[in-house]
Amino acid sequence: MVPEHPLYPENACLLAPVAGYTDLPFRLSARRHGNKYAFTEMVDAGSLVFGVKKSLRLLARDPSEAFLGVQIVGSDLETLKKSVEILNRMDFSVIDFNLGCPAPKVAKKCEGAALARKKPEEALKAFSVIAETALSPVSVKMRILSETDPEPTVQLVRRLADCGASAVTVHGRIAEKFYSGPVFFDIIRAAAESVKIPVIANGGALSASSYHELRENSSCSRGMVARGALGNPWIFSEIEGGLPPTLEEFCNEVREHFFSMRDFYGEPFVFPICRKTLLAYLRGRGFPGSLRASVSFLNTLEDFKLFLKEIGKGPLSKVYRETGRVARC
């Protein structure tokens, strides 16, 4: 059932479920800089039902997380029902159904964005099963279905709302474009104007300024950040008018994020997992290429300490020299 009050307040900024990134340590980093609404990484409904350990780890929640959504992907109705029954025994603020993932491994099973685009009736049946089984609010994350005609997107959003969605997040690109090309704000806006439930604007929010552009051009009072938060938890405080980090603040966050990952995954396993996260912190901030390349060779705590020492020398960017802030260029 749709709750009496909106799932997200006006001006809420959500952290998207980003596969391979938004694990517990990542979310705690974002929380330290103002994020309130976040999701687990996408979880395959079948993996959840069959108790795959890797999938179960994705569901870890810290006691400090006041709001945490879980996102599932799938298409088999019985499997989705069983997965939601499992989630009902856990503590999640919302169960989100993925109808937007464009990844080939998801598309080949006609799930995610492919399910919404190719088999919208089956997508609605799948969501209805989730809505009927869930004990918590339910929502959907999807992509626009056409760049030229808003009607298919509008109709699907309307029908999802009729099926019990408490909110729908709409990414303003079609699945084939993945994360490139323009975001079609007008189609997100048409979808938002067609329903009474919150529609969250998504797509292209790589900085505070582009996030505000997304919100303004889509006329949505709520927005979602995905890739813009990778290596940049400060995006949430910057959206609220804060400044990029000083070098000391930057180093402290990289250190804390790494050791949070070490504690979560264990020292023998953390280095292959953390490399892409550490590289995301360096990307676009003016650090030398040799430092970025060194991330691939981190294998011990001593390696990490030396790496952090090199970060402490500061980026080479003009912005840093002029402001003392480690901003993305």
Considering the domain architecture, whether residues 98 and 154 belong to the same structural domain is answered as yes
Considering the domain architecture, whether residues 124 and 266 belong to the same structural domain is answered as no
DSSP secondary-structure letter at 20? Answer: T
Number of domains composing the chain: 2
pLDDT at residue 132 in the model: 98
Domain around 90: 13-239
| Position 23 in a domain | yes
pLDDT at residue 1 in the model: 41
- Look at 177 and 131; give whichever has higher pLDDT: 131
Which of 108, 105, 107 has its CA nearest to residue 175? 107
Considering the domain architecture, whether residues 176 and 282 belong to the same structural domain is answered as no
pLDDT digits (tens, 9 = 90+) for 192-233: 999 999 999 999 999 999 999 999 999 999 999 999 999 999
C-alpha triplet 68, 69, 73: angle, nearest 5°: 150
pLDDT at residue 3 in the model: 46
Are 193 and 219 spatial neighbours (Cβ–Cβ below 8 Å)?
yes
- Look at 52 and 31; give whichever has higher pLDDT: 31
Rounded to an integer, the average pLDDT of 295-313 is 97
Measure the CA–CA gap between 308 and 96, rounded to whole angstroms. Answer: 37
Q: What is the mean pLDDT of the chain?
A: 96
Considering the domain architecture, whether residues 115 and 152 belong to the same structural domain is answered as yes
Considering the domain architecture, whether residues 274 and 309 belong to the same structural domain is answered as yes
**pLDDT over threshold 50, residue 2:** no
Considering the domain architecture, whether residues 124 and 209 belong to the same structural domain is answered as yes
Considering the domain architecture, whether residues 208 and 268 belong to the same structural domain is answered as no
**Whole-model pTM over 0.75:** yes
pLDDT at residue 15 in the model: 98
Rounded to an integer, the average pLDDT of 121-134 is 98
Considering the domain architecture, whether residues 216 and 258 belong to the same structural domain is answered as no
| Position 1 in a domain | no
Domain boundary among 239, 257, 282: 239
Considering the domain architecture, whether residues 294 and 221 belong to the same structural domain is answered as no
| Position 7 in a domain | no
pLDDT at residue 140 in the model: 98
| Position 4 in a domain | no
| Position 96 in a domain | yes
Considering the domain architecture, whether residues 220 and 286 belong to the same structural domain is answered as no
DSSP secondary-structure letter at 157? Answer: H
Location of structure tokens 């169960």: 95
Q: With residue 252 as reference, give the H or E element that holds it.
A: helix 247-265
Rounded to an integer, the average pLDDT of 144-155 is 97
CATH code of the domain containing 71: 3.20.20.70
**pLDDT over threshold 80, residue 268:** yes
Domain boundary among 186, 208, 239: 239
| Position 329 in a domain | no
The residues assigned a catalytic role are 101
Are 221 and 210 spatial neighbours (Cβ–Cβ below 8 Å)?
no
Domain boundary among 200, 217, 239: 239
- The set of residues, in sequence order, having a beta carbon less than 8 Å from that of 277 and lying 6+ positions away, is 21, 26, 230, 231, 257, 258, 261
Q: Mapping DSSP to helix (H, G, I), strand (E, B) and coil, where does residue 298 land?
A: coil
pLDDT at residue 53 in the model: 87
**pLDDT over threshold 70, residue 4:** no
| Position 69 in a domain | yes
pLDDT at residue 5 in the model: 56
| Position 3 in a domain | no
The fraction of the chain above a pLDDT of 90, given in percent, is 94
Considering the domain architecture, whether residues 118 and 264 belong to the same structural domain is answered as no
Are 13 and 35 spatial neighbours (Cβ–Cβ below 8 Å)?
yes
Q: Residue 230 has which token pair?
A: 């990778």
Considering the domain architecture, whether residues 183 and 65 belong to the same structural domain is answered as yes
Residue 142 confidence class, pLDDT cut points 50, 70, 90: very high
pLDDT digits (tens, 9 = 90+) for 156-202: 999 999 999 999 999 999 988 888 899 999 999 999 999 999 999 99
Are 150 and 170 spatial neighbours (Cβ–Cβ below 8 Å)?
no
Measure the CA–CA gap between 268 and 33, rounded to whole angstroms. Answer: 29
